[in-house]
Structures are given as structure tokens and as C-alpha cells.
């Protein structure tokens, strides 16, 4: 049986490798011919023809190294992950409508809880940011592409296997169960110690998947740093670099220091689980894991929130009819947050009994990080003050971001205080606090970006009424669900449990109603997104938001305008398009789908 | 193209290698972690082969065989360390060594029997 299994695996692997080799041979052939489009009209070298060639259909998406295509892949991937993570939590919230165990078993609830967290943070949060940055950073800084286009593609293609591994426990594979470690993977539970079932290979698969997403994020970060440093157009200096690029640069720096540490910690945990090492099983091992994990984990919070802040800083002024107030200070505060974010990790560990002097210093830095965050908030508010505000859907999401960020931020300031934390630690207050940030702020900024740039990446316009329904349902749903959680925390409801005492039932039911409102809102979003992409009115104006009127046009819209002008000349395509697309852009980019 | 050439002023907008590099990593990781010999060998071959292909394609190296030899040397060292030192993970070590050997053989065969008549980058 054992030998047969090995044999079957060998044959499968062999067949797979031969298929890959055969396919590669064909691809090489496909790439060796010279495309038909006009000879040396542009005066380019032969290489440039090859470089502008793009295959069609599925092969294009599998082989692309174009930053815009990769941005689209990231976007699709992260929205699928958002749907998966969202449906997981809907199941959990429905279970929580009733104090006892009714719909889901407690272990399945734990599995969903673990996967919901990891999916939303690593498979939705980080990739949706990469979607925007891949598509728009090269356009904003006037680069032809990313510095390392192939590494960019590798970084993306590591994610789908990562997701499959993270979700592997849910697939009908014999003897494999989903991880139930929560996203923080605290040892000794995650080391598989004791009589529980966390020695199962499902946890190993989840750890491997997480490791892959970490490798992916690191590769992406190196690429963005190299791109922003070396690929800028001559006209783009450090002085006039846009705010979104600043936040991506800072975020990439954080990733560079944080994610490799997570990767190492995960490998140590895997070694402990499979090869008998004792990193986390000796005295102090549990606290060691917490230090390593949160040294990554807290910067991760800023990895996730800085670029969305960048999107808001970019989009919000466009609809306030003014430039961003205090641009320099927004940049400085971004950098300050980046630095300080590495000095706050132990505020997650106030209740572990670490040295009180250490606790006090971490409390001080945690309170200090509120200052640059507040600087940003005041700058956004001041930008809107007396501005000519247009409440478009992206603007609504930006304002929603600011509003939710204030509540999420202020609840966080209280948590940074040791005595309050000791009361509220591990309650729903914490869950409410960070969901105000991850859902209320990060996801809202993601939606703002998705709506704002919708004309660029689809060539069409979304349905505005549905967009506003989406916003209001999201805003009401978010505030209902998560404010109730803050109150539940004050009441002493511990987090992570599948069942609870009857006295918390009303609050939990309210939170469930809020989650269902959110679900309806996101269903409207999906409908609007897909239908408008397929059938929405085509955008013929290169400035659909009328940014030119206030002199607020940015580079990506100029690029879009140029692209539209070259695409409109259908018929005389070759020459004019060739001339105007000197810069690596082909006219077929978005219109051939 | 703009006047300021960057790190990648000449590249193709399509490449078949990244997706296989990305597949090679999880397959070899799974194989090595769980001690599944065929997966480990196949994954490492896929990973290292694709790296070599990509290095050649992007013009970072002149010849495929050299990068294959280097990659195979790294695998030999790693596999040797796994199999013959105190670490004592024999199956995994041999799997890595097998992958190294196959890479070397593949590289030599490629050098001897495949003529590069494709358009140079």
C-alpha cells in the first residue's frame, strides 16, 4: 500500500513535469516569432517588439509580467478571498445569534474563526493593497513597469497555492482537519502539545500556506522599494512624489523587516511540530512565540493600514476640490508610524506577566503612535473643511473611513493603557476595536479605491445608486456590528467563544443583524461590480471625475486619457497607436476582453 | 521608452516561468516537510529548472548549464547536510540529492542536445 502510494505519486509527478516541459517548449516557440504589426516604424529595436507582445486568452493571464495585469490578478484574487472570509464569518455570526451550540460544532466554529482571520489579513488585506499598488504605482511615478516584473509575477502566483494550503483543512481530504489555533497561532496549542487535535497535518498545511504568503509579500515589497527608488520618471522627485507611493514605500519597508521574521518563526514552529526541536516547548517558549509573532504582528497592522491611508489621502482631496492639507506632515506621520510600529508589539502581551518596566515603555510608545495617526486624521478633516465636497461613492467611503478610523483609533488608545487593557484584554472590546480598523477603515479605503479607479481598469462606469446603497449598508452594518462588540467587551464577554451566557444574547443578536446588513451590502457590491464591468456605460472622457476643473488631475488619469485617445482611433490603429503608445503600453490592454 | 533606463528597460510582458517558480516552492516544501520523496524531487526540479529558465530568459546569465550547475551544487550541499550530518533526515536528504543529480543530468543533456536557435533577447 505504502509502496503503491509512492509509485502513484512518482508517476503523477513525472507526468506533471513532462506536461510542464512540453508546454514550456510550445510557449518558447510561440514567443520566438516576430509579431506582424508594422516594421521599424517607431524606430525601436527588435527587442521592443518582443517586449510588447502579449498572448491572448488564459495564457495571457498565466504568463503575464505586466504590472497592470498582475494588479488585476491581485484584485480578483483578493476579492474572492474577501468573499470566502466574509461567508465564513456570516456562518459564525449566525451561530452566535443563539447562546448555545446550534448550527456549527464548537470545533468547526474554531476552524472558521482561525481561517476567517488569516484569510482576511493575508489573503484579502495584503493582496488588495498589492492590487492597487501594482496597477497604479508605476503609472503614478511614470515608470514603464515594476523594477523586477518576473519577481512581481512570482509574488502573485505564490498566493493561490498559499490560499489552497491555508484552506486545505476544509477540503474533503482524509485525516486532515482545519487548524483551530486562531490567527495568532499561540504555542503550546499550535505546537500540537497536549491531548488536543492540533498535531494534525492541517495545521502544518496552514503554516506552510502562511509562509508562502509571507514570501510573496516580501518579494513584492523588495520590488516596490526598488521600483520607487530607481524607476521614477525624471519629473517625479522625492519632493513631489505622490502620497500613495509614500505609503507603499513605507509599507514595503515594514514588510521587509516584519514578514521574514514571521517566516522564520513559522519555520521554527514547523520544526517543533515535525522534527522534534524545542524552540517553543521549553520554559519561556510560549512567551518567545508571542514576542516573535507580535514583533511581526503589530507592524502588520500598519502594513495593512498605511496604504489605505494613502488611498484616502489621494482620493479624498479630489472630491473636496482642494489639495491635501499639510501634505508634508501626512508624509512625515506616515514615516513616523512606520518607525514607531516596531516599538509597540508588547502591548499585545500586557496580560502575560512580563516585566512591568517593559510594559510601561511599550505603553508609552503605543500612546505615542496615536499622535501621527491623529495628525493624519486632522489633515483629512481640514482638507474637507470649507471644501467643495462632492459626495460620490469613493468620497463617501473615504469619509466613512475617517469616521470609522476615529472610533477604531480612540478605542485603541484606551487599550494601550495598561490598567484598562488588563480589564478589557481578550474581550469583544478588542474585537470591536480592530474590526473598526480592518473593516471600517481598511476595507472602506479598498472600496474607495475600487470605485475611484473603476473607469481606469474596466473602461466603464459603475452604477452610482448601487454604489451608494453599498456604502450606506456597509457603514450602518459596520457600526452596528462592531459598536455592539465594544459594548459586549465592556460587559465582559470574552472573545473567540462559540457559545456564551444568555445575558449577552441581545447584543450578540444585534451584531448578527449588523453582519447580515453587511452581507446584503457586499452582495449589492458584487452585482454592481460584475454587471457594470460587463455592461456599464463606456467611459469616453479621460477625466470622468472632472478633476481637471480643480486642477487636481494625477498621473494615472493623464495616462488613461492618453490611452483613450489612442484607442478611439480604431481603424487607423497601427500607426497612430504605435506612435502614441511609445512607453510600453499597448492599445489592447483592457479592451480586448 | 523614457530616457532613464531602469533595472528592467528591456523585458517581455509575458514570461512562462514565474508561475512554475511559484508552484515549485509549495510542492517542494510539502515534499520535504512530510517526507514525500517524489513531491520533494519534482518540486525542487520544477523550482530550480524554472529559476534557471528565467535567469536565461531575462539575460542575467549566458548559459543555462552554468546556473543549473550552481543550483544543483546548492541542492547537493543541502541534501548532504540533511542526510549525512546529525540532522539525520535521510529520506529528505536523498530526495534533495536526487533532485540535484537530475538537474545536473538535465543541464548536461540540454547543453548537448538542444540547440538554441531562438531569437536572442
**Tens-place pLDDT, residues A246-304:** 999 999 999 999 999 999 999 999 999 999 899 998 889 999 999 999 999 999 999 99
Residue finishing a domain among A264, A281, A298:
A281
Q: Is pLDDT above 90 for A511?
A: yes
Helix (H, G, I), strand (E, B) or coil at A277: coil
The answer to whether the CB atoms of A158 and B26 lie below 8 A apart is yes
Question: Is residue A18 included in any domain, yes or no?
Answer: no
The answer to whether the CB atoms of B37 and A10 lie below 8 A apart is yes
Query: Which of the pair, A51 or A469, is modelled with greater confidence?
Result: A469
pLDDT in tens, A291-314: 999 999 999 999 999 999 999 999
How long, in residues, is chain A? 593
Element (H, E) at A297: helix A285-318
Q: Residues of A with CB below 8 A from B19's CB?
A: 62-63, 153, 157
Element (H, E) at A117: helix A106-118
Helix (H, G, I), strand (E, B) or coil at B61: coil
Is A161's Cβ below 8 Å from some Cβ in B? Answer: yes
Contact status, residue A251 vs residue A306, Cβ threshold 8 Å: yes
| Maximum separation of any 2 CA atoms in chain B, in Å | 56
Burial class (CB in 10 A: 0-12, 13-18, 19+), B3: exposed
pLDDT in tens, A433-483: 999 999 999 999 999 999 999 999 999 999 999 999 999 999 999 999 999
Beta bridge partners of B14: A64
Choose, out of A22, A149, A587, the residue to mutate when testing the contact with B (most B CBs < 10 Å).
Answer: A149
Cβ count near A29 (within 10 Å): 10
For residue A504, which of A408, A411, A427 has the smallest C-alpha distance? Answer: A427
Is B121's Cβ below 8 Å from some Cβ in A? Answer: yes
Render A327-392 in DSSP notation, one character per residue: HHHHHHHHHHHHHHGGG-GGGGGGGGT--HHHHHHHHHHHHHTHHHHHHHHHHHHHHHTT------
Extract the C-alpha cell encoding A367. 500612546
Q: Residues of B with CB below 8 A from A592's CB?
A: none
Q: Which residue from B minimizes the CA distance to A61?
A: B14
Least confident piece of the model among A27-36, A117-126, A543-552, B55-64: A27-36
Q: Which residue from A minimizes the CA distance to B89?
A: A275
Residue A495 is predicted with a pLDDT of 95
Query: Which of the pair, A571 or A512, is modelled with greater confidence?
Result: A512
Question: Is residue A88 included in any domain, yes or no?
Answer: yes
Contact status, residue A190 vs residue A269, Cβ threshold 8 Å: yes
Residue B117 is predicted with a pLDDT of 55
Q: Residues of B with CB below 8 A from A144's CB?
A: 1-2, 6, 8-9
- Band (pLDDT 50/70/90 cuts) for residue A338 is very high
Q: Is pLDDT above 70 for A553?
A: yes
Contact status, residue A62 vs residue B19, Cβ threshold 8 Å: yes
pLDDT in tens, A80-112: 999 999 999 999 999 999 999 999 999 999 999
Is B44's Cβ below 8 Å from some Cβ in A? Answer: no
Residue in the structure block whose three cell numbers are 507526468: A15
Mean pLDDT, residues A574-580: 42
Mean pLDDT, residues A534-545: 93
Q: CB under 8 Å, gap of 24 or more: what pairs does A504-512 form?
A: A504/A99, A505/A98, A505/A99, A508/A96, A508/A97, A508/A99, A508/A484, A509/A97, A510/A480, A510/A484, A511/A93, A511/A96, A511/A480, A511/A481, A511/A482, A511/A484, A511/A485, A512/A93, A512/A94, A512/A96, A512/A97
Mean pLDDT, residues A558-567: 88
| Maximum separation of any 2 CA atoms in chain A, in Å | 78
- Cα A428 to the chain's mean position, in Å? 24
The answer to whether the CB atoms of B13 and A62 lie below 8 A apart is no
Is B12's Cβ below 8 Å from some Cβ in A? Answer: yes
The answer to whether the CB atoms of B46 and A20 lie below 8 A apart is yes
Listed in sequence order, the residues at least 6 apart from A359 whose beta carbon sits closer than 8 Å to its beta carbon are A346, A350, A418
Question: Is residue A103 included in any domain, yes or no?
Answer: yes
Q: How far apart are the first and last CA of chain B?
A: 17
Query: Which of the pair, A187 or A584, is modelled with greater confidence?
Result: A187
Give phi and psi for A538, each to the nearest 5: -70, 140
Question: Is residue A193 included in any domain, yes or no?
Answer: yes
Extract the C-alpha cell encoding A344. 509597540
Is A148's Cβ below 8 Å from some Cβ in B? Answer: yes
Give the span between the Cα atoms of A140 and A245, in whole angstroms: 8
Domain coverage including residue A143: 60-281
DSSP A124: I
pLDDT in tens, A341-399: 999 999 999 999 999 999 999 999 999 999 999 999 999 999 999 999 999 999 999 99
Return mean pLDDT, chain A.
Answer: 90
pLDDT in tens, A224-247: 999 999 999 999 999 999 999 999
- Band (pLDDT 50/70/90 cuts) for residue A561 is very high
Extract the C-alpha cell encoding A123. 489573503
The answer to whether the CB atoms of B12 and A31 lie below 8 A apart is yes
Q: Which of B11, B26, B38 sits opposite A165 (nearest CB)?
A: B26
Q: Is pLDDT above 50 for A419?
A: yes
Give the span between the Cα atoms of A401 and A437, in whole angstroms: 9
Choose, out of B5, B9, B16, the residue to mutate when testing the contact with A (most A CBs < 10 Å).
Answer: B16
For residue A411, which of A430, A439, A383, A384 has the smallest C-alpha distance? Answer: A430
Burial class (CB in 10 A: 0-12, 13-18, 19+), A521: buried
- Band (pLDDT 50/70/90 cuts) for residue A36 is very low
Question: Is residue A466 included in any domain, yes or no?
Answer: no
The answer to whether the CB atoms of B13 and A66 lie below 8 A apart is yes
Burial class (CB in 10 A: 0-12, 13-18, 19+), A569: middle
Residue A6 is predicted with a pLDDT of 85
Residue finishing a domain among A233, A257, A281:
A281
Residue finishing a domain among A262, A281, A300:
A281
Q: How many CB pairs under 8 A join A and B?
A: 156
Q: Is pLDDT above 50 for A575?
A: no
Sign of CA dihedral A523, A525, A531, A533: negative
Element (H, E) at A505: helix A505-535
Residue A197 is predicted with a pLDDT of 86
CATH number, domain at A135?
1.20.210.10
- Ordered per-residue pLDDT tens for chain B, 121 residues: 333 333 334 455 788 999 999 999 999 999 999 999 999 999 999 999 999 999 988 888 888 899 999 999 999 999 999 999 988 899 999 999 999 999 999 999 988 887 655 555 5
Q: Which ipTM score applies to this complex? A: 0.88
Per the structure, the count of domains in chain A is 2
Looking at chain B, the number of H-run helices and the number of E-run strands are: 4, 0
Question: Is residue A39 included in any domain, yes or no?
Answer: no
Extract the C-alpha cell encoding B4. 532613464
Amino acid at each position: 500500500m505504502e509502496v503503491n502510494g509512492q509509485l502513484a505519486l512518482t508517476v503523477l509527478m513525472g507526468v506533471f513535469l513532462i506536461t510542464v516541459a512540453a508546454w514550456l517548449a510550445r510557449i518558447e516557440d510561440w514567443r520566438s516569432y516576430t509579431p506582424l504589426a508594422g516594421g521599424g516604424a517607431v524606430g525601436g529595436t527588435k527587442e521592443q517588439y518582443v517586449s510588447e507582445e502579449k498572448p491572448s486568452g488564459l495564457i495571457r493571464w498565466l504568463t503575464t509580467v505586466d504590472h497592470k495585469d498582475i494588479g488585476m490578478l491581485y484584485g480578483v484574487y483578493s476579492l474572492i478571498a474577501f468573499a470566502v472570509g466574509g461567508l465564513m464569518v456570516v456562518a459564525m455570526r449566525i451561530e452566535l445569534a443563539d447562546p448555545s451550540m446550534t448550527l456549527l460544532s464548537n470545533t468547526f466554529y474554531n476552524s472558521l474563526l482561525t481561517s476567517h482571520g488569516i484569510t482576511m489579513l493575508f489573503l484579502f488585506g495584503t493582496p488588495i493593497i498589492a492590487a492597487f499598488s501594482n496597477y497604479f504605482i508605476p503609472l503614478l511615478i511614470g515608470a514603464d513597469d515594476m523594477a523586477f516584473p518576473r519577481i512581481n509575477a512570482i509574488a502573485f502566483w505564490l498566493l493561490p497555492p498559499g490560499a489552497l494550503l491555508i484552506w486545505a483543512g476544509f477540503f474533503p481530504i482524509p485525516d486532515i482537519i482545519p487548524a483551530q489555533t486562531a490567527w495568532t497561532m499561540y504555542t503550546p496549542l499550535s505546537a500540537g502539545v497536549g491531548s488536543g487535535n492540533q498535531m494534525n497535518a492541517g495545521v502544518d498545511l496552514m503554516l506552510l500556506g502562511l509562509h508562502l504568503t509571507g514570501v510573496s509579500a516580501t518579494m513584492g515589497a523588495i520590488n516596490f522599494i526598488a521600483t520607487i527608488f530607481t524607476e521614477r520618471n525624471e519629473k517625479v522627485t522625492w519632493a513631489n512624489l505622490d502620497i500613495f507611493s509614500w505609503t507603499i514605500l513605507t509599507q514595503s519597508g515594514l514588510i521587509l523587516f516584519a514578514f521574514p521574521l514571521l517566516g522564520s518563526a513559522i519555520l521554527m514552529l514547523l520544526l517543533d511540530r515535525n522534527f522534534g526541536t524545542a524552540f517553543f516547548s521549553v520554559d519561556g517558549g510560549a512567551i518567545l512565540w508571542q514576542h516573535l509573532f507580535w514583533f511581526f504582528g503589530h507592524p502588520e497592522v500598519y502594513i495593512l493600514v498605511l496604504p489605505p491611508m494613502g488611498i484616502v489621502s489621494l482620493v479624498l482631496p479630489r472630491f473636496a476640490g482642494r489639495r491635501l492639507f499639510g501634505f508634508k506632515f501626512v508624509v512625515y506621520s506616515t514615516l513616523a508610524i512606520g518607525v514607531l510600529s516596531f516599538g509597540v508589539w508588547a502591548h499585545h502581551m500586557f496580560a502575560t506577566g512580563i516585566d512591568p518596566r517593559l510594559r510601561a515603555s511599550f505603553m508609552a510608545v503605543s500612546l505615542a503612535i496615536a499622535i501621527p495617526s491623529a495628525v493624519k486624521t486632522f489633515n483629512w478633516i481640514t482638507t474637507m473643511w470649507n471644501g467643495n465636497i462632492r459626495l460620490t461613492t469613493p468620497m463617501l467611503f473615504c469619509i466613512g473611513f475617517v469616521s470609522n478610523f476615529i472610533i477604531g483609533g480612540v478605542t485603541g488608545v484606551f487599550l494601550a493603557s495598561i490598567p484598562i487593557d488588563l480589564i478589557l484584554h481578550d474581550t469583544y472590546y478588542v474585537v470591536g476595536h480592530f474590526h473598526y480598523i480592518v473593516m471600517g477603515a481598511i476595507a472602506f479605503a479598498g472600496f474607495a479605491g475600487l470605485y475611484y479607479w473603476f473607469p481606469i481598469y474596466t473602461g466603464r462606469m459603475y452604477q452610482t445608486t448601487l454604489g451608494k446603497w453599498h456604502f450606506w449598508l456597509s457603514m450602518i452594518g459596520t457600526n452596528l456590528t462592531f459598536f455592539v462588540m465594544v459594548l459586549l467587551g465592556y460587559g465582559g464577554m470574552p472573545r473567540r467563544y462559540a457559545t456564551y451566557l444568555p445575558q449577552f444574547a441581545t447584543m450578540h443578536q444585534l451584531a448578527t443583524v449588523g453582519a447580515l446588513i453587511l452581507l446584503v451590502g457586499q452582495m449589492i457590491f458584487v452585482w454592481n461590480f460584475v454587471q457594470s464591468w460587463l455592461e456599464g456605460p463606456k467611459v469616453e472622457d479621460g477625466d470622468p471625475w472632472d478633476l481637471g476643473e480643480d486642477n487636481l488631475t494625477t498621473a494615472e488619469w493623464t495616462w488613461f486619457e492618453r490611452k483613450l485617445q489612442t484607442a478611439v482611433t480604431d481603424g487607423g490603429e497601427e500607426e497612430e497607436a504605435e506612435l502614441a503608445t511609445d512607453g510600453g503600453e499597448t492599445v489592447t490592454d483592457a479592451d480586448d476582453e | 521608452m523614457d530616457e532613464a533606463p531602469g533595472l528592467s528597460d528591456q523585458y517581455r510582458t509575458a514570461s512562462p516561468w514565474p508561475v512554475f517558480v511559484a508552484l515549485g516552492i509549495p510542492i517542494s516544501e510539502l515534499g520535504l516537510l512530510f517526507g514525500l520523496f517524489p513531491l520533494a524531487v519534482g518540486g525542487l526540479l520544477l523550482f530550480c529548472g524554472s529559476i534557471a529558465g528565467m535567469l536565461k530568459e531575462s539575460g542575467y546569465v549566458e548559459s543555462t548549464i552554468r546556473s543549473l550547475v550552481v543550483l544543483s551544487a546548492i541542492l547537493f550541499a543541502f541534501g548532504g547536510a540533511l542526510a549525512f550530518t546529525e540532522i539525520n533526515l535521510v529520506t529528505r536528504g536523498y530526495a534533495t540529492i536526487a533532485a540535484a543529480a537530475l538537474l545536473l543530468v538535465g543541464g548536461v543533456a540540454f547543453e548537448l542536445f538542444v540547440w538554441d536557435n531562438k531569437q536572442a533577447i
